[in-house]
Amino acid sequence: MVKLIYTLADHGDDVNCCAFSFSLLATCSLDKTIRLYSLSDFTELPHSPLKFHTYAVHCCCFSPSGHILASCSTDGTTVLWNTENGQTLAVMEQPSGSPVRVCQFSPDSTCLASGAADGTVVLWNAQSYRLYRCGSVKDGSLVACAFSPNGSFFVTGSSCGDLTVWDDKMRCLHSEKAHDLGITCCDFSSQPVSDGEQGLQFFRLASCGQDCHVKVWVVSFTHIFSVDKSVIVYDTNTENILHTLTQHTRYVTTCAFAPHTLLLATGSMDKTVNIWQFDLETLCQARSTEDHLKQFTEDWSEEDVSTWLCAQDLKDLVGIFKMNNIDGKELLNLTKESLADDLKIDGYSYEKEAMENWISTKKRTSPMTNLVLPSVVLTPNRTLKMAINRWLETHQK
């Protein structure tokens, strides 16, 4: 169960963003102000509202310690505030002078990223307040930003729908079309999914966009948004809807979870911020679903695995899996190496017709390595096929 426990109606225009620290809630608005509230009773602090920006404030965020608040605005500046007294610590101007749409601290508070309407992204030294590195995306305004929990990379989202991964030296690692009509928000789960090869960590990233989709990505090197006046809470493990919150009377523009309490803040174009409280049942429901699914898969027999393979259009692999006695527990432990070495599945992707012609000429060697193929079973690469189809849809319009 979720219940509305408080509504804040102090802003004079659309609420653009809200953010939690351990003890405070910050909100910002088109009315050019940032407001601070105590989480103990939701009263506004004596030095609130914070006033400096000359145009709309688009984003605000706390440093991990909660002692510093950052805000950014159409006026082309990112401002750092002392949360204890409301004093201005620094005013950092975007080099291009473009309106700043998003800002975000790194997990260790050493850096602050700011993204602008012209596609530029700046990494600032959060101690000296000086520009550290600068980059840019090809198209669109930057409207979303999130650091990985270990701080080794961060992701930006653009109004054109691209997600771009950057390292801490501002080198672009990857860029991908994520949402057709533009991205509205992205954020990382605080815990890694698992440790991968050679110590690499994999993190779960959620993104949402104007296409009404919420996507969950696994990135190596649970999310909420809406434009229909409602807030939807998902279980990221099952994609099931846990709650739909419909208190706002206009479009929802922002949301944030408190770090260590069961509170959710949502802001809207109706000029209000709603504070929602979750009960323990919701938390337990999400966690138990994940445990249940894992336990359920572990109980699969070899026949259950075969049935699942057929449902995934992988029936050509049924014989190989049966020959290797793969049941549910073994399925959960499969890695890329075990697929290649133990199950003898070649890891490369080819055009199906070309590979069939290759095999039909009695060649049993890999076109890539020239090594003997242990098996001539062809496995569909559905992920690659979807990526090609997405590219074709984009470039044939």
Given the structure tokens 């493990």, which residue do they identify?
A: 237
Other Cβ atoms closer than 10 A to 220? 15
pLDDT level of residue 342 (50, 70, 90 thresholds) = low
Look at residue 285 in the predicted model and tell me its pLDDT.
53
E strands, 117-182, are 120-125, 131-136, 142-147, 153-158, 162-167, 172-177
pLDDT cut 70: percent of the chain above it: 75
Yes or no: say if 81 and 71 are a contact pair by the CB < 8 Å rule: yes
If one compares 52 and 319, the residue with the highest pLDDT of the two is 52
Yes or no: say if 390 and 177 are a contact pair by the CB < 8 Å rule: yes
DSSP-derived 3-state class of residue 97: coil
* Domain positions in the chain: 15-277
Q: What is the pLDDT of residues 228-270, one digit of tens each?
A: 567 777 665 555 666 778 788 877 777 777 765 667 888 888 8
Yes or no: say if 217 and 148 are a contact pair by the CB < 8 Å rule: no
Return mean pLDDT, the chain.
80
Look at residue 164 in the predicted model and tell me its pLDDT.
92
If one compares 292 and 233, the residue with the highest pLDDT of the two is 233
pLDDT level of residue 156 (50, 70, 90 thresholds) = very high
pLDDT level of residue 192 (50, 70, 90 thresholds) = confident
User: How many Å apart are CA 320 and CA 392, to the nearest integer?
Assistant: 34
Question: What distances in angstroms separate CA 150 from CA 14, 132, 215, 234, 333, one per listed residue?
Answer: 33, 19, 21, 25, 25
CATH number, domain 15-277:
2.130.10.10
Look at residue 305 in the predicted model and tell me its pLDDT.
79
Given the DSSP bridges, would you call strands 273-278 and 2-8 parallel, antiparallel or unpaired? antiparallel
DSSP-derived 3-state class of residue 319: helix
Look at residue 289 in the predicted model and tell me its pLDDT.
45
Yes or no: say if 5 and 19 are a contact pair by the CB < 8 Å rule: no
User: How many Å apart are CA 89 and CA 129, to the nearest integer?
Assistant: 9
User: pTM score > 0.85 for this model?
Assistant: no
Whether the predicted pLDDT of 304 surpasses 80: no
Given the structure tokens 């620094």, which residue do they identify?
A: 90
User: How many Å apart are CA 251 and CA 2, to the nearest integer?
Assistant: 20
DSSP-derived 3-state class of residue 177: strand
CB environment 250-275: b (16+ within 10 A), e (fewer): eebbbbbbbeeeebbbbbbbbbbbbb
Q: What is the pLDDT of residues 71-107, one digit of tens each?
A: 999 999 999 999 999 999 999 999 999 999 999 999 9
pLDDT cut 90: percent of the chain above it: 35
Whether the predicted pLDDT of 174 surpasses 60: yes
Q: What is the pLDDT of residues 13-62, one digit of tens each?
A: 999 999 999 899 999 999 999 999 999 899 999 999 999 999 999 999 99
Other Cβ atoms closer than 10 A to 385? 12
User: How many Å apart are CA 316 and CA 323, to the nearest integer?
Assistant: 13
Average the pLDDT over each of 111-115, 291-295, 312-316 and give the range with the smallest value.
Answer: 291-295
The distance of Cα 75 from the centroid of its chain, to the nearest Å, equals 27
